[in-house]
Chains A and B, each alone.
Chain A
Amino acid sequence: MADHISLQGSDTVSSGSAGSQVVKPPALALGPLGWVRANLFNSWFNSILTILILWLAYQVIPPLLNWLFFNSVLPGEGVTNQTCRASGGACWAFIHEKYRLILFGLYPYEEQWRPIASILIIVGMLALSCNRNFWRPWLAVVWAVAAVVVAVLMWGGVLGLPFVRNTLWGGLPLTLILSVVGLVVAFPLSILLALGRRSDLPIVKSICVVYIELIRGVPLITVLFMASVMFPLFLPTGVTIDKLLRAQIGLILFASAYLAEVIRGGLQAIPKGQYEAADSLGLTYWQKTRMIILPQALSITIPPLVNTFIGFFKDTSLVIIIGLFDLMSASKAALTDPAWRGFYKESYLFVALIYFVFCFFMSKYSQWLEQELHRGHKR
């Protein structure tokens, strides 16, 4: 295989026979036929690969399409789990039956417009924050307002909304809240950690290094375990914090260490001259950091920051292990209904699709942003 890759997208390195090659008539070098020759059958090795893949596709795609569409059971009158089991195709009726459980967890059925509204607000705010023209101080104010609105919607207890304990929250809103709150709180913390790690003060530096390396050296699960079983012991007698908050604190501790390393990368990329120029202007450490260094460092690190966000968004699914009812737990819970056991493919596919849409969009956004931000550096 190694012999047949094309480096840098160009053609393969010219082989010994290139000199004696006869010039082909244009009909074979252009058009669809020419494309097929150039992209699918340009060497004996590639021809074998092409035939192999086409054969595999023939084996896989028709049964897959049958399962997904032609034999699948759509929700409708009189469609039960028995219909699904008899059909042998995908059981979309199962998703129709359980989508409210998967998306909203145990949230009271008749109040579920509230988590829907919360999802829309959070997604809307995320979309708004993607536009670079809106990166102004007022965006933070809008976020704060949105956070209050979401809190009111989810908890209720005011404005005539019935109170809903956060132990009943679940599904997609929980996943979104855990990841957005985790990132928003972890971000300033991580800036302090990154600055601390780059600091000249040995004690501050070593505390930050130990914290970052400790958290990055252990799996997220152990941080979550620590949050869920050790935090109650850390608190004075009589004070308790609930499971959701404990998980949220664990996620914040975790995210801040990872974000700190990304931001440290940005800080390291700022040329020394920038620091020296700021010093010669007589700026204090915090003036220099706030006005000269951080704006540059953060704008360099936006693409890797978005990548860290994606990783973190996926990682919130681990709260299932300490018993929180997020999107993933809810999808597993939907499968425990004895009548609908065994439709795990549909359930996991549905959840995977939700995660995929969020992550794929974020990753495309990060790639676009990279192009956009590096415009000035291109020659």
Chain B
Amino acid sequence: MSTRGPGNLAPQAPRRSLINDPNVRAIFFQILVLGGVVLLGWYLVSNVLENLARQNIATGFSFLDREASFAIGETMIPYSPASSYSQALLVGFLNTIKVAVLGIILATVLGTIVGIARLSSNFLVAKLASIYVEVIRNVPVLLQLFFWYAVISESLPQPRQALNPIPGVFLSNRGMKFPGLADDPIWTWVGIALLAAIVGVWLLARWARKRQEATGQQFPVVLGSIGVLVALPLLTWLAGGAPTALDVPELQGFNFRGGINISPEFAALLMGLVIYTAGFIAEIVRSGIRAVNWGQTEAASALGLHRGEVLRLVVLPQALRIIVPPTTSQYLNLTKNSSLAVAIGYPDLVSVANTTLNQTGQAIEAVSIMMAVYLTISLGISLFMNWYNTRIALVER
């Protein structure tokens, strides 16, 4: 990698020879570096092949079709120990996605609230928010996960003595149980209606903006959107006969049956990740808002905008430009930190891949699957956020 001055390289070489030609030297050193990397790679690969042959481990991904024969506590798709390793890894992947998506949404909300709270003119609110940020950011996230997991699994009672704060909701060391809606085909249609309403709102907002740009007339977009979002699913529900049956959890034997369960592992992981990441997002939000020139606020209020409008129309759009890129990194960090699930027993991708690794001995394959999946997720999030960032970025000449 090292380039030297011409004198050091070849003291006896005549001046203005090929050795002093920058282009030739550039090519020479690149060949040197590439050669070194290829040589190192070849050396490592040959060692791996030799070691694997000695230990009688077959390379390749054929083990993925074999029976996994281990159970997974939480699955979003049908899975049993008789399913294949690829099915198990898919379950782990979906669990990772579940915690990452929910975590990103909740951490953004909490982080924004705390970040704005740090700028509050209320002394207590501002102090409380800064204590939160200082404490949370300076303690390892793994320790926080252990703490929350211990709180849930050791402080909460057995299912038989489960806490029952609201009728139908039970808190125990087996997790949180709450009533879900009983199966009814109409719920699928309500879901579809909700999706349609979201698309409708997007179209409505576009139309309203176009109209305001063309005619100057404003349309109550927020009220209209809420109306569409509520009305469409509600009408679908009514059309389906308005079912109200609930699936309420009941204590049977040593555990609850029915209802929706949030496992202690999932709850601890989500809580830990959200509280930790929100501390970082809060600082980003705070610095983003503070970076917007005070003159902007003054100018906006001089134009007669009231406080909410100043924030929504003038300050936030400019602050977002500063906030989005570092927040993207925080989203990526949250997703990557979700791999700590393996430490508290939530079956995420790393945890399942680790079990697979221990059962089959396919170290290289298991680790490459983990790495490939996280790389894909990371690249996906960065691509999306970069796209969003370009959309909101300041267009300069």
> Hey, what's the 0/1 contact readout for B365-382 against A, CB within 8 Å counting as 1?
001001100110011000
Nearest-Cβ distance from residue A102 to partner chain B, whole angstroms: 12
**Is A233 touching B52 in the complex (CB atoms < 8 A)?**
yes
With beta carbons under 8 angstroms apart, the residue of A12, A46, A226 that contacts B307 is: A12
**Is A332 touching B146 in the complex (CB atoms < 8 A)?**
yes
User: B363 contacts the other chain (Cβ, under 8 Å)?
Assistant: yes
A233 to B362, CA, bound (A): 11
With beta carbons under 8 angstroms apart, the residue of A207, A332, A363 that contacts B37 is: A207
Question: Restricting to B344-375, which residues have a CB under 8 Å from any CB of A?
Answer: 350, 354, 357, 363-364, 367, 370-371, 374-375
**Is B3 touching A218 in the complex (CB atoms < 8 A)?**
no
Number of interface residues of B (CB under 8 A): 74
A185 to B119, CA, bound (A): 40
**Is A9 touching B142 in the complex (CB atoms < 8 A)?**
no
**Is B125 touching A53 in the complex (CB atoms < 8 A)?**
yes
Nearest-Cβ distance from residue B386 to partner chain A, whole angstroms: 14
Q: A3-B311, A12-B307, A196-B1 are in contact. Are A207 and B33 (CB under 8 A)?
A: yes
Q: Which residue of A lies closest to B118 (CB)?
A: A5
Question: Restricting to B28-46, which residues have a CB under 8 Å from any CB of A?
Answer: 29-30, 33-34, 37, 44
User: B78 contacts the other chain (Cβ, under 8 Å)?
Assistant: no
Within 8 Å CB of B37, what residues of A? 207
Interface centre among B50, B119, B308, by most chain A C-beta atoms within 10 angstroms, is B119
Question: Restricting to A250-286, which residues have a CB under 8 Å from any CB of B?
Answer: 284-286
**Is A342 touching B364 in the complex (CB atoms < 8 A)?**
no
> Hey, what's the 0/1 contact readout for B298-321 against A, CB within 8 Å counting as 1?
000100001110111001000000
User: B121 contacts the other chain (Cβ, under 8 Å)?
Assistant: yes
**Is A218 touching B371 in the complex (CB atoms < 8 A)?**
yes
Q: A5-B121, A360-B138 are in contact. Are A286 and B310 (CB under 8 A)?
A: no
**Is A7 touching B297 in the complex (CB atoms < 8 A)?**
yes
Nearest-Cβ distance from residue A313 to partner chain B, whole angstroms: 9
Within 8 Å CB of A342, what residues of B? 154
Question: Restricting to B202-244, which residues have a CB under 8 Å from any CB of A?
Answer: none
Within 8 Å CB of A99, what residues of B? none
Nearest-Cβ distance from residue B215 to partner chain A, whole angstroms: 28
> Hey, what's the 0/1 contact readout for A1-27 against B, CB within 8 Å counting as 1?
111111111111111100000000000
A346 to B147, CA, bound (A): 10
User: B343 contacts the other chain (Cβ, under 8 Å)?
Assistant: yes
Interface centre among A7, A8, A287, A344, by most chain B C-beta atoms within 10 angstroms, is A7
User: B143 contacts the other chain (Cβ, under 8 Å)?
Assistant: yes
Within 8 Å CB of B147, what residues of A? 344-345, 348, 352
Nearest-Cβ distance from residue B75 to partner chain A, whole angstroms: 22
Interface-side segment among A107-115, A118-126, A317-325 = A317-325
Within 8 Å CB of A232, what residues of B? 51
**Is A192 touching B3 in the complex (CB atoms < 8 A)?**
no
With beta carbons under 8 angstroms apart, the residue of B2, B119, B122, B150 that contacts A40 is: B122
A168 to B23, CA, bound (A): 54
Within 8 Å CB of B128, what residues of A? 53
With beta carbons under 8 angstroms apart, the residue of B154, B311, B371 that contacts A344 is: B154
Interface centre among A11, A203, A332, by most chain B C-beta atoms within 10 angstroms, is A203
Nearest-Cβ distance from residue B36 to partner chain A, whole angstroms: 10
Q: Which residue of A lies closest to B358 (CB)?
A: A229
Within 8 Å CB of B51, what residues of A? 232-233, 235, 237
Nearest-Cβ distance from residue A372 to partner chain B, whole angstroms: 20
User: A221 contacts the other chain (Cβ, under 8 Å)?
Assistant: yes
**Is B141 touching A314 in the complex (CB atoms < 8 A)?**
yes
**Is B124 touching A49 in the complex (CB atoms < 8 A)?**
yes
Chain A contact residues: helix, strand, loop or mixed: helix
A226 to B365, CA, bound (A): 11
User: B337 contacts the other chain (Cβ, under 8 Å)?
Assistant: yes
A328 to B142, CA, bound (A): 9
Within 8 Å CB of B342, what residues of A? 221, 321
A25 to B26, CA, bound (A): 78
Nearest-Cβ distance from residue A292 to partner chain B, whole angstroms: 15
Within 8 Å CB of A67, what residues of B? none
**Is B146 touching A225 in the complex (CB atoms < 8 A)?**
no
**Is A222 touching B367 in the complex (CB atoms < 8 A)?**
yes
Interface centre among B54, B306, B371, B374, by most chain A C-beta atoms within 10 angstroms, is B371
Within 8 Å CB of A201, what residues of B? 26, 29-30, 33
**Is B54 touching A222 in the complex (CB atoms < 8 A)?**
no
> Hey, what's the 0/1 contact readout for A214-240 against B, CB within 8 Å counting as 1?
101111111001100110111111000
**Is B47 touching A7 in the complex (CB atoms < 8 A)?**
no
Within 8 Å CB of B340, what residues of A? 219, 221, 318, 321
User: B164 contacts the other chain (Cβ, under 8 Å)?
Assistant: no
Within 8 Å CB of A352, what residues of B? 139, 143, 147
**Is A233 touching B30 in the complex (CB atoms < 8 A)?**
no
**Is B30 touching A229 in the complex (CB atoms < 8 A)?**
no
Question: Restricting to B51-74, which residues have a CB under 8 Å from any CB of A?
Answer: 51-52, 54
A14 to B141, CA, bound (A): 42
Nearest-Cβ distance from residue A289 to partner chain B, whole angstroms: 10
User: A315 contacts the other chain (Cβ, under 8 Å)?
Assistant: yes
**Is A54 touching B124 in the complex (CB atoms < 8 A)?**
yes
User: A42 contacts the other chain (Cβ, under 8 Å)?
Assistant: yes
User: B120 contacts the other chain (Cβ, under 8 Å)?
Assistant: yes
**Is A2 touching B311 in the complex (CB atoms < 8 A)?**
yes
28 contacts between A and B (CB under 8 A): A1-B116, A2-B312, A3-B308, A4-B122, A5-B120, A5-B121, A7-B119, A9-B119, A11-B121, A13-B301, A16-B306, A39-B122, A39-B123, A40-B124, A217-B374, A217-B375, A218-B371, A229-B363, A230-B364, A232-B51, A235-B51, A237-B47, A321-B342, A328-B142, A328-B146, A342-B154, A345-B150, A348-B147
Interface residues of B (CB under 8 A from A): 1-6, 26, 29-30, 33-34, 37, 44, 47-48, 50-52, 54, 113, 116-117, 119-125, 128, 134-135, 137-143, 146-147, 150, 154, 289-290, 292, 294, 297, 301, 306-308, 310-312, 315, 336-337, 339-340, 342-343, 350, 354, 357, 363-364, 367, 370-371, 374-375, 378-379
